[in-house]
């Protein structure tokens, strides 16, 4: 007996449409009559739309289905498509590299955003708004520190790092409270302790059944 495994079959370009759609597309490529081939292609488009109703919410729903048909047919289907056939090279070309300017970040665990926030705070005029913004920065720095290091950290260390990054232009107001670690990180959820699944090893709980069983012995 021979078995037909998916690993031995032809690779599908879009597996979400299933093996039957792939077979139908392969079949219509062998149809010689162009009108019949166009009619079969429109029928397959309807089937593809029914298999993926979530695509109906998109504005270019029909256009996307015809593009997918070309992909499934490996761009070898000669039909009169209502939309331009997509270029095959666009689906295989490598995406361009996204530029990422890391720059000279002094403390990687704080990140670039914190440094930009410190620079913005240094440009602010002295007052309550600057003090409030400075407190937010210190709490964010502490949160970033314990997120990366997973350990306790003294508030003096965070304030010292802020002073270093601001080149002494930012100072923490005396008496301002810095949040505790438990206030900065979300609490860890404990898994509920449920009853163990599987076979029970206790005595049978069906007392009525046991009474009937004893009665039958006499």
* pTM given for the model: 0.44
Confidence of residue 195 (pLDDT cuts 50, 70, 90): low
State yes or no: pLDDT of 112 exceeds 90. no
What radius of gyration, in Å, describes the C-alpha atoms of the chain?
34
Joined together, the tokens standing for residue 70 give: 């070309």
Confidence of residue 31 (pLDDT cuts 50, 70, 90): very high
Q: pLDDT tens, 130-189? A: 999 999 999 999 988 888 877 778 888 888 999 999 999 988 888 788 888 777 777 666
Least-confidence region, from 113-117, 139-143, 174-178, 205-209: 205-209
Confidence of residue 36 (pLDDT cuts 50, 70, 90): very high
Helices 128-149 and 111-122 cross at an angle (nearest 10°) of 160
pLDDT of residue 196: 54
């Amino acid at each position: 007996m021979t078995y037909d495994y998916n690993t031995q079959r032809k690779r599908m370009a879009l597996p979400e449409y299933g093996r039957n759609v792939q077979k139908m597309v392969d079949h219509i490529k062998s149809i010689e009559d162009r009108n019949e081939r166009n009619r079969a292609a429109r029928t397959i488009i309807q089937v593809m739309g029914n298999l993926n109703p979530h695509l109906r919410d998109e504005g270019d729903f029909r256009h996307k289905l015809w593009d997918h048909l070309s992909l499934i047919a490996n761009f070898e289907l000669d039909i009169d498509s209502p939309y331009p056939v997509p270029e095959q090279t666009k689906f295989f070309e490598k995406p361009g590299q996204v530029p990422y300017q890391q720059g000279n970040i002094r403390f990687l665990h704080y990140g670039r955003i914190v440094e930009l926030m410190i620079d913005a705070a240094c440009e602010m005029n002295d007052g309550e708004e600057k003090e409030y913004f400075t407190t937010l920065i210190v709490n964010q720095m502490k949160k970033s520190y314990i997120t990366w290091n997973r350990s306790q950290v003294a508030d003096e260390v965070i304030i010292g790092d802020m002073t270093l990054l601001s080149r002494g232009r930012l100072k923490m107001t005396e008496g301002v409270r810095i949040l505790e670690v438990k206030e900065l990180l979300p609490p860890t959820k404990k898994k509920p302790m449920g009853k163990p699944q599987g076979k029970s090893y206790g005595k049978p709980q069906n007392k009525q059944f046991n009474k009937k069983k004893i009665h039958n012995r006499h």
